[in-house]
Amino acid sequence: MLTRRSALKSLATATGAAFGPSLLPPAAHAGAAQGAAPGAARGLKRIVFFLQNQGFDPATAIPKGLGEDVPLAGVELPEPIRPLEAIKDKLHIVNGLHGRHTSPSHSAYFGALGGYRGGIGIPARGVTIDHVVSGLLPETILPHLCIGMDSLENMRSRPTLATLSAAGAGRPIFMHSNPVDLYQMLFGGIATGEVKRRYEARSRVFDAVEGLARNGGESLPAGERARYGNYVDGFRDINGLRERLAGASAHLGQFAPEFGAKFTAPEFETDWHDALLDIGIAALRSGITNTLTIGSGRGEIFGAWKGLGVDKQGHNLGHMPQPGNDIWVKIRQYNSRMLVKLVESLESMPEDGGTMMDHTLIVYTSNNADKQHTNGQNWPFMLIGNPGGAIKTGQFTQLDGKRPINAMYATLLHAAGAPCDRFNMDGKLAEKFDRGVGPIEQLMA
């Protein structure tokens, strides 16, 4: 029987000591989380962030009539998230945080996970919470995997895009949106046919480019030479990752999703959305990553769901009310089914006397707070999972609007075994936007 322990043992044997180092140095932890005490994660071994664009109206998630903290047992979930009834005992709905300081109208972009001011064309001002947590979790080949879902046209024309996650100021992390390319990158070493040929051809190209880059740039001025060095390091990282994945190919073969028509001949964008989710789940189950960030709409104002029977797409979706709207019921239910699939896939994998889900936290929200044109006054979240008993589950919590999304991220750091006073918020900013310190106590078990 394949268990999490045996899977990781075979992966470690295959790769030896070649696990890639965390992309986040300890100094970045200290800079992002004021007062943090760096340490290994306790019960938390993996985390998933799922961000839907165009806003997350709380009325699509809060059972009707609830206005105070109550258990969810015996309470029927509203129609848009009704698929979560199957995992309601693992769910915590949180309302009443704010993100006024992030300027989230249309999208806060990097600010949604960074807890700082963002906007279109504004570079990342600092590390985002998903990447901070990735540096606290058990080490993996690929510390942080980001996938982005959009219309077929956008995913084909821009197969990578960076709008949500960052390893530091000016250091964006790119989302992968073409599942064929991502499958080739992660599982090309075990593929056959055209995927294998493309994988080998690309490998030769990247090896050659790294060699050329390594030998060039010496005549550049010092400032330009440093910037050029970042490109050289990027190619070196890509080639190193490819080599480590190739070394683990036998192990990865046990988890690779079926490479079928939804990859090669998608009828709708949702075929590629589903394929990307399958790859993300395989990456988690195989242990090659412990942090997965999913951007539905990729942090922008676009996106399409024609596969759900939704003809409207892009910016127009944000100009319609979400509660009671058949279109948004379909989109939110699709999200909810994805969340259930994630949970059930991780529950099916034994780990340390339980399952992988026992050590996993899923965070669902939007990069637009509650709606597309918003001032960030209310920013709902849903948490799924109770890693190591750190987070309350089966609960609805109504907050008073006086704490920012940064406090949610400080709470996640507590769950990861790195307690802190604040995340990406200094004392001067906190005087205006945060009435508390440390984690949100109502969420802690």
438: pLDDT strictly greater than 80: yes
Residue 64 in any domain: the answer is: yes
pLDDT, tens only, 191-201: 555 555 554 54
Residue 217 in any domain: the answer is: no
6: pLDDT strictly greater than 50: yes
What is the Cα–Cα distance from 215 to 217, expressed in whole angstroms?
7
87: pLDDT strictly greater than 90: yes
Pairing of strands 91-95, 381-384: antiparallel
Q: What is the CATH number of the domain that holds 38?
A: 3.40.720
pLDDT at 250: 77
Tokens of 372: 């597309």
What contacts 197, CB < 8 A, 6 or more positions away? none
Residue 270 in any domain: the answer is: yes
Confidence of residue 3 (pLDDT cuts 50, 70, 90): low
Residue 210 in any domain: the answer is: no
pLDDT, tens only, 162-186: 999 999 999 999 999 999 999 988 8
Residue 212 in any domain: the answer is: no
pLDDT at 39: 41
What is the Cα–Cα distance from 218 to 61, expressed in whole angstroms?
56
216: pLDDT strictly greater than 70: no
Q: What is the count of structural domains for the chain?
A: 1
Residue 193 in any domain: the answer is: no
- Tell me the whole-structure pTM to 2 decimals: 0.86
pLDDT, tens only, 229-259: 554 454 455 555 767 777 777 788 889 999 9
pLDDT, tens only, 92-127: 999 999 999 999 999 999 999 999 999 999 999 999
pLDDT at 189: 62
Confidence of residue 358 (pLDDT cuts 50, 70, 90): very high
pLDDT at 43: 87
414: pLDDT strictly greater than 80: yes
Contact criterion met (CB below 8 Å) for 279 and 147: yes
What contacts 47, CB < 8 A, 6 or more positions away? 130, 133, 134, 137, 290, 291, 292, 360, 361, 362, 363, 412, 416
* Position with higher pLDDT, 12 vs 79: 79
| Residue 149 β-bridge partners | 296
pLDDT at 184: 87
**Summary mean pLDDT of the chain:** 85
331: pLDDT strictly greater than 60: yes
pLDDT at 64: 86
Q: Report which of 317, 298, 331, 304 is spatially closest to residue 152, judged by C-alpha positions.
A: 304
User: Which domain range does residue 325 map to?
Assistant: 4-182+260-443
Residue 216 in any domain: the answer is: no
Residue 49 in any domain: the answer is: yes
HEC-encoded secondary structure of the chain? CCCHHHHHHHHHHHHCCCCCCCCCCHHHHHHHEECCCCCCCCCCCEEEEEEECCCCCHHHCCCCCCCCCEECCCCCCCHHHHHHHHHHHHEEEEECCECHHHCCCCCCCHHHHHCCCCCCCCCCCCCCHHHHHHCCCCCCCCCCEEEEECCHHHHHHCCEEEEEEEEECCEEEEEECCHHHHHHHHHHHHCCHHHHHHHHHHHHHHHHHHHHHHHCCCCCCHHHHHHHHHHHHHHHHHHHHHHHHHHCHHHHCCCCCCCCHHHHCCCCHHHHHHHHHHHHHHHHHHCCCCEEEEEECCCCCCCCCHHHCCCCCHHHHHHCCCCCCHHHHHHHHHHHHHHHHHHHHHHCCEECCEEHHHHEEEEEEECCCCCCCCCCCCCCEEEECCHHHCECCCEEEECCCCCEHHHHHHHHHHHCCCCCCEECCCHHHHHHHCCCCCCCHHHEC
What contacts 97, CB < 8 A, 6 or more positions away? 378, 379, 380, 381, 399, 401, 403, 404, 405, 407, 408
